[in-house]
Amino acid sequence: MSICPIEQRYRSNLNSFFEQENVLKSWLRVEVALAKAHAALGNIPAQAAEEIEEGAKKVKLERVIEIEEQIHHDLMAMVKALEEQCPNYGGYVHYGATSYDIEDTAMALLIHQASAVFKSDLVALKSVLKEIVKNKRNLVCVGRTHGQHAVPTTYGLVFANYLDQLNRAIELFDKALELVCVGKMTGAVGTGATFGPKAFEIQKLVMEELGLKAALVTTQVVSRDRHANLLFVLALIASILEQIAKDIRNLSRPEILEVAEGVVKSQVGSSTMPHKKNPHKSERVCSLARFVRANVLVGLENVALEHQRDLTNSANERIILSHSFILVDYMILQMKNILTNLVFYEQNIKKNLELSKGAILSERVMIALTEAGMSRQKAHELLRLASWQAQEKNIALFDLLSKNKEVLKFIKKEKLKELFDYTSYIGQAQKIVDQVLEY
């Protein structure tokens, strides 16, 4: 029975890429590529590379684990298991390489494989967001700052902001992949000494076989700033998803209820309170974002390895890279489901827009008074006091201002009435939405 929840509860489209069988397969791919490079340069017989390639198909994970229990070295256990499958030329397996020539290059392969599916899921989420932006382009709602009613905005603009952030995150993800999807074949401390004068050629041939770029310079390992950068970008994506989820959670409160997660008829919200409709999917996204962000710190700690390397990155990287990738992909799938089924309560959106009885348009009146000749600071103070007074008396701000002689000196009552039209005070929101969609 599994212990880690990413194996079942939070499983995503990426799990198979990071499972032990695929890690082993990637190690073997690198070993085969190395043998082919040696053979191409005449360092080993062509038959040796052929036997190693065939032998790699026969290596079993169970045998590798069995050998590791005896020698306490996972990569060397793979080497021995491969050598067993090569009766004539097994001595050429792993020729000239160090463990992390294989492991780091294989890690780049794994990340490259997983990234294609991850990117596809990201783009699918982006498409769902775009539809919401298009459909809610003109839906006016109250804006909120500091948790308080501000001025009107539109739900199109709200979701366009999420979409724009996601666009930038995708661009950063592509750049992070360029940095991290590199391999190495440079030996124990990065000099390539074991490969002799053909070191550059060997590395070039290995990377061409695998479809990777070679790191410009390495120690025994590829520098971990690359991996830390990827972890940061994954955490950034998680944080953007959390922002959307947090807004949905707050907007689904019963006293607000402008949007909410869609629910199925059989859904249970609470084991004791039958009436509950909890935003549990959004809460899950917020919870997992905290874990993913924490992994960035571990990735940064891995950058400062001692001299040409130590092993302090090895154990935690078996967790942080795969878990971050899988969990962020899971969050993307969850958010896609949330947004696809998101419910907008337009009656409540209108009700909340009017909840302050016009106070959210005090800025507009202040600007109109200033344009009509009143001092901006005087207009601000007048509207501040009037808004608070209207709130205390529970009356509409327009009703209060329409009897204010100071206001009527500058703005006629009919014009004042026009200023309290919520739908006409959204500035360039629609054009901004169009710009985001066009981008």
Task: Give 284-346 as a 3 state SS string.
Answer: HHHHHHHHHHHHHHHHHHCCCCCCCCCCCCHHHHHHHHHHHHHHHHHHHHHHHHHHHCCEECH
The answer for residues whose C-beta is within 8 angstroms of residue 31's C-beta and 6 or more apart is 52, 56, 78, 79, 82, 93, 94, 97, 102
Q: Which class for 423: exposed (0-12), middle (13-18), buried (19 or more C-beta within 10 A)?
A: exposed
Number of Cβ atoms within 10 Å of the Cβ of 196: 10
Q: What is the 3-state secondary structure (H, E, C) of 50-69?
A: HHHHHHHCCCCHHHHHHHHH
User: Catalytic site residue 99?
Assistant: no
Based on the residue annotation, tell me whether 387 is a catalytic residue of this protein.
no
Alpha helices in 341-428 (DSSP H): 346-353, 362-371, 376-393, 397-401, 405-408, 413-418
Sign of CA dihedral 311, 313, 319, 325: negative
Answer for the pair 309, 301: CB distance below 8 angstroms, yes or no.
no
Indicate the DSSP class of residue 2: -
What count of other Cβ atoms lies within 10 Å of the Cβ of residue 304? 11
**Which of 146, 266, 271, 275 is an active site residue?**
146
- Distance between CA 247 and CA 235 in Å, rounded? 18
Exactly one of 16, 120, 127, 270 is catalytic; which is it?
270
Q: Which residues contact 369 (CB under 8 A, 6 or more apart)?
A: 379, 382, 383, 407, 410, 411
Residue of 410, 208, 288 whose CA lies nearest to 6: 288
SS3 144: strand
Identify the bridge partners of residue 144 per DSSP, sorted by sequence position.
Answer: 149
- Residues annotated as catalytic (active site), given as ranges: 146, 270
